[in-house]
């Protein structure tokens, strides 16, 4: 089996390429990354059970057809992912994220490769208590250029699946937490873990403390991708994929279990998304998948990697 992973050295990709080698022994795993973030260590110590090939290239410009030739599936992770940092960069995200997805999807149509396209639960801007993939257009009020672009990518993939024979699925991932060789610290849980270990108070918008958001354990994310491949779930639909809906309070309490002296600084500055909602993942669970991730475990693993960086012995 030949599996293509774009954005292979990123937070998700660097974990997934290792997990794929375990779940699909002997698979040919082609890793594509433009090295924009120079995460070379994400290639260190890859499992011997996988047959790897790394391609440094820009998928918005490269000829993808010969790369995808013979591929069973493309896991498309490549993207500029910082939602909060995407304001004022709409044109850049359009040029990078949307065009990359369009070129990958079109190459999949031409070569017959299946496509797993990554989207985000940040597309929801609902005031409903619980939201699912069948929500109304009024509940799809993306709060950032990043989320707006993700909706456009979803629409493109859905259209190609309906009219051009593309075998694809779009996954709206919750905010990722958990450690990987290529991890970043711009998302909520990881950022809080970094600040806690470095002895910095966590800055929390005062009225957001009890607001819920969807989060996804990195191990669950990788298992979900493998599940889609194994069960051949390329039905052109959109699936919410998340481990849990958690409040900021729950995240803080999880971190306090490892950093008891953690300080929380409440601020009155507005955050990007001021709404509180839960995201349903029943559609994906109905395919036979069970989420087994754990917020405490993910926080603990991340803090354990960082703790000695600030003169603290592991507890």
Question: pLDDT of 217-228, one tens digit each?
Answer: 999 999 999 999
pLDDT digits (tens, 9 = 90+) for 81-123: 654 544 556 567 666 789 999 999 999 999 999 999 999 998 9
DSSP bridge pairs for 116: 75, 169
Q: Is the dihedral of CA 285, 288, 292, 298 positive or negative?
A: negative
pLDDT tens readout for residues 65-79: 999 999 999 999 988
Per-residue pLDDT for 297 more than 90?
A: yes
d(CA 209, CA 192): 13
> Is residue 176's pLDDT more than 90?
yes
Domain ranges of the chain: 2-176+216-241, 178-213+244-310
Environment class of 311 (CB within 10 Å of its CB; exposed 0-12, middle 13-18, buried 19+): exposed
CB-count exposure of residue 118 (10 Å: 0-12, 13-18, 19+): buried
**Residue % of the chain over a pLDDT of 90:** 66
Of the candidate ranges 46-60, 255-269, 290-304, the one whose mean pLDDT is the lowest: 255-269
Average pLDDT over the chain reads 89
- Output the pLDDT for position 143: 75
Structure tokens at 104: 């990958």
Residue 144 CA to residue 157 CA, distance in Å, equals 20
Q: How does pLDDT run across 234-292, given as a tens digit for each residue?
A: 999 999 999 999 999 999 999 999 999 898 888 775 554 556 789 999 999 999 999 99
Alpha-carbon span 43 to 13, nearest angstrom = 11
Per-residue three-class SS string for the chain: CEEEEECCCCCCHHHHHHHHHHHCCCCEEEEEECCCCCCHHHHCCCCCCCEEEEEECCCCCCCCHHHHCCCCEEEECCCCCCCHHHCCCHHHHHHHHHHHHHHHHHHHHHHCCEEEEEEEHHHCCCCCCEECCCCCHHHCCCCCHHHHHHHHHHHHHHHHHHHCCCCEEEEEECEEECCCCCCCCCCHHHHHHHHHHCCCCEEEEHHHCCCEEEEEEHHHHHHHHHHHHHHCCCCCCEEEECCEEEEHHHHHHHHHCCCCCCCEEEECCCCCCCCCCEECCHHHHCCCCCCCCCHHHHHHHHHHHHHHHHCCCCC
Top CATH class, 178-213+244-310 = alpha beta
Average pLDDT over residues 35-49: 89
* Level-2 CATH architecture, domain 2-176+216-241: 3-Layer(aba) Sandwich (3.40)
CA distance 121 to 240: 7
Is 160's pLDDT higher than 70?
A: yes
CA dihedral of residues 60, 65, 66, 70 (deg, nearest 10): 130
**Range in 140-144, 159-163, 250-254 the model is least confident about:** 140-144
In terms of C-beta density within 10 A (0-12 exposed, 13-18 middle, 19 or more buried), how is residue 150 classed? buried
């Amino acid at each position: 089996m030949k599996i293509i992973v774009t954005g292979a050295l990123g937070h998700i990709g660097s974990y997934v390429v290792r997990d794929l080698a375990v779940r699909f022994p002997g698979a040919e795993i082609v890793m594509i990354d433009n090295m924009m973030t120079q995460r070379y260590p994400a290639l260190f110590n890859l499992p011997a059970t996988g047959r790897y090939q790394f391609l440094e290239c820009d998928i918005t410009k490269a000829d993808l057809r010969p790369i995808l030739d013979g591929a069973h599936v493309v896991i498309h992770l490549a993207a500029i992912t910082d939602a909060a940092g995407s304001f004022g960069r709409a044109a850049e995200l359009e040029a990078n994220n949307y065009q990359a997805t369009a070129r990958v999807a079109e190459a999949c149509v031409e070569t017959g490769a299946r496509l797993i396209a990554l989207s985000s639960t940040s597309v929801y801007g609902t005031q409903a208590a619980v939201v699912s993939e069948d929500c109304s257009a009024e509940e799809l009020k993306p709060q950032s250029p990043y989320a707006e672009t993700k909706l456009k990518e979803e629409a493109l993939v859905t259209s190609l699946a309906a009219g051009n024979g593309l075998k694809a699925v779009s996954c709206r991932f919750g905010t990722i937490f958990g450690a990987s060789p290529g991890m970043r610290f711009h998302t909520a849980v990881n950022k809080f873990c970094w600040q806690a270990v470095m002895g910095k108070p966590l800055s929390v918008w005062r009225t957001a403390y009890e607001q819920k958001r969807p989060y996804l354990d990195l191990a669950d994310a990788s298992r979900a991708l493998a599940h889609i491949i194994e069960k051949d779930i390329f039905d052109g639909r959109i699936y919410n994929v998340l481990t849990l809906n958690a409040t900021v309070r729950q995240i803080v309490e999880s971190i306090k279990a490892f950093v008891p002296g953690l300080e929380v600084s409440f601020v009155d500055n507005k955050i990007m998304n001021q709404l509180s909602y839960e995201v349903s993942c029943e559609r994906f669970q109905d395919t036979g998948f069970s989420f087994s991730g754990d917020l405490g475990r993910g926080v603990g693993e991340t803090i354990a990697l960082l703790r000695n960086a600030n003169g603290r012995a592991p507890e």
